[in-house]
Each structure stands twice: as structure tokens, then as C-alpha cells.
Structure 1
């Protein structure tokens, strides 16, 4: 672990991770805990959140859990006002629903993805930008995606939400350049988590086909990059990171075969 990041810079800090009941959010929370950071964890699934919190407490850190739906701006505001001290905000919560093409996309799916991926993220960030300005310190880490850098068929709404996150992150970076607050975007490519199962509405067989013939990234790989970015010296800001598995070169450029899944 010491070779990945300097954990001494994170010890005693408090990290808020949204969407931390599974996948990248859960692995990020656990890795921060191993580095000695206290945690504030949010998600919609209490049982899974409790499991992550229990594992994180094994590292001897303080962990609090909160059920927060990122689509509910009143709930976000109420939570943020009671959260206490936060040093690092990891905006991880996000989702994708379906692969329908434009013209066949359900309006409810459009609303859910924008509310979760964009509007909830913006609402929470607006609150903590002001908190960090008062503290004269802080770090905002936004989970982007290759979908925020290039579009692909069957992903119009998800791509639109992640392009919005990327634009928001870029504006925020420029607005805060005169402050001590750091702003980072982490953009994964192909990562094997429950994310694809959600995309295919619970059809695991379809989700598994996405990764056939490829050794994809896993949640821990992205967690390492998040925690590494957070552990840089104060004068360094990791502004934007794009992470692919070796067999990927773009959203639609994937070499299948020649790499065995490990």
C-alpha cells in the first residue's frame, strides 16, 4: 500500500464518499480507511452500507453511515448540514439504465440518470464548496467516465450526464484556482462491477458479455487512483485522469482475445 500513496497525508482526515455501498465507492471507502482516514458514507442500501462500514472500522477509524438518495435535493441538504467536518468529498454515486437508442428511451430513465449523476452531484458540491472555502482547505473528487469524453451508441443519456460532470468539473477547477481547494476528475474506462448489471436491468448474462475476452479493470483499481490523487502533496492537484484496461483504447475500441481474465 505504501507504494501506491502516502497514507500519512490522509491519516486523521475525514472523507465523504457517496454511493459507497458497493463497487468503486465501497473499495474507495475501505482504502481510505486503511490509510487512516475517518469516513462518512452515503448510499441508498442500508444493509450493504453497514457491511462496508463494519469492514472499514476494522482499520480503527471512525465511520458514520447515512441513507441519502442523490435524487432528493432536500435530503442532500439536510444530510450535508449535519455531516460535520469533511476534508475530502468523493462524488462517486452514479448509475446507468438501459441501452435504448434515442426515441425509445423512457422519460423516467432520463430523469433518474440526470437527477442522480448530475443534479445530485451539483447540489452536494455546491454545499461543500462553501464549507471548504470557510475551512480554507478541501478536495473535491468527481467520478467521471470515458463516457464523459466520447459518446457511443446506446449510451446517449449516460454519456450526456458524464459530459455534464466533466464540464462542471472543468468550470469548478477554474473557479477555485485561487483557493487551496483541489478539484479532481477520475474517468474509468471498462470496469467490471454491478454497474453493467444495472445497465442491463438485472440481466447478469448480458452484463458478463461486456467483458468477454477482456481483462477489465475492477473497482479496487479505480479506488487506488482516487486515494492516490487525494494523497498528493498539497501543492499538487491531479486534475483529470483517464484509466483504461490494457485492452481498451477508446469507448468502442476494445481488443477481445489475447488477454485472459485473471
Structure 2
């Protein structure tokens, strides 16, 4: 198994905490979930990221209109918005509005040089047959050159079940590495894991050590490649803490 380390950028201000020496392989742009920039602005952001992390892979989030419905209560605020009626967007519907959201996502992805995008689904996108049919149809009707999907399911989807469903579709799954109580989760099949944290959520040395040991064990096995993401205002500090523990193995 090979391991890549990454940062989730919800606000461009996070990049001020970056060091060129940080072992960052992937930068995920969560800001594009609410507010995908126009192509010129996206290219400028990509240039800034590559100045910090030269060979990094940039992966934007898909625009929320692709998967979130009106009832999912996304606060658009002053962010970029799609003029659409409730019931015409979200849940991968076969509608012009969903296609428009996908086209905006593709433009952003192309501008930052992305081959993949993260698509988050809300709890309302449950593991039932309708959700499965819609996601399957959406993927099967994409063009060959379109970005591949990394799927972040919310709600009732168990990571292992999501991965079993998604694998034949060529979709990777992103899951949480730790539970709310700090327990390391069993995420068989998820090839992207995320360590979350608020402004005061420092990765405890014990958690960093547990995670490092778990991934070091996987590295000795014939396991799929894994991308480990760090999210939140302390993302860079937590990535460094984990990397130090991994180097000490």
C-alpha cells in the first residue's frame, strides 16, 4: 500500500499555515462545494497552491446542486447560485439543472488541472434503490474525459457498504478516520480517509500514534492505496504530527 497525505481547504486563509517542506500530496478544495470560482480565479488559486506544494494533486468538491436538494438546507448566502426550482436539482437527477451544476464543476476542475472531484451526498441521499439508480445512471452517462468521482456519503451509508456499491462504478469512497468519540473506525474499502477538527481540535499524540501504527501495518500488506486527508484550521499542524509519528515507526 502506498500512502498519500492531503489537506482539505475550506477557506483559502488556511494556506497561510502551509510550509513548502510539508509532505502534502493532495489538496482538496472544499470551498468549491458552495462557491466554485470562475476559471480565471480557479487557475490563480491553483498557481498559489503549486507555489506551496509543487507536485500536489488538486481535487475540488463538486457544486452542491449536483447532490443536495432544496430540503437539505444549504445556506447559499452571497455565494454563487444556480437559478433553479426545488425538485429540479440534487440527488443526481436527470435534469438540465443537474447537468448545469456538473458543467460548472467540470470547468472548475479543468481550471485547476483536476482529474477527480469529490462529491458529497446529504443524509437524505439514503442507501435505497432510488439513490443507487440515480448515482449509477449519472456515472454511466458521463463522458470518458470527465473527472472521476470521489464520493463522500453522509448519513446512513456505512463506508464499507458504500465502497462495495461504488467500486464497480469506478468511484472511490471518502470516509471519516475517527468517530465522534475518537475511536479509529473500520473503513474497509474506503480509499480516502479524513481526520476532521475544529479550531481547537489538535490531533492528540495518542490518536496520531494509533493512526500511524494502523497505517504502518497496512503498508506491510497487499492493501489498496490510501489517501489520508486532514481538515480544519489545524490541518497542517495535525498533518505534521501524524507524519512525525509515521516517520518514527
TM-score bracket for the superposition, by shorter chain length:
0.3 to 0.5
**Superposition TM-score, scaled by structure 1 size:** 0.33
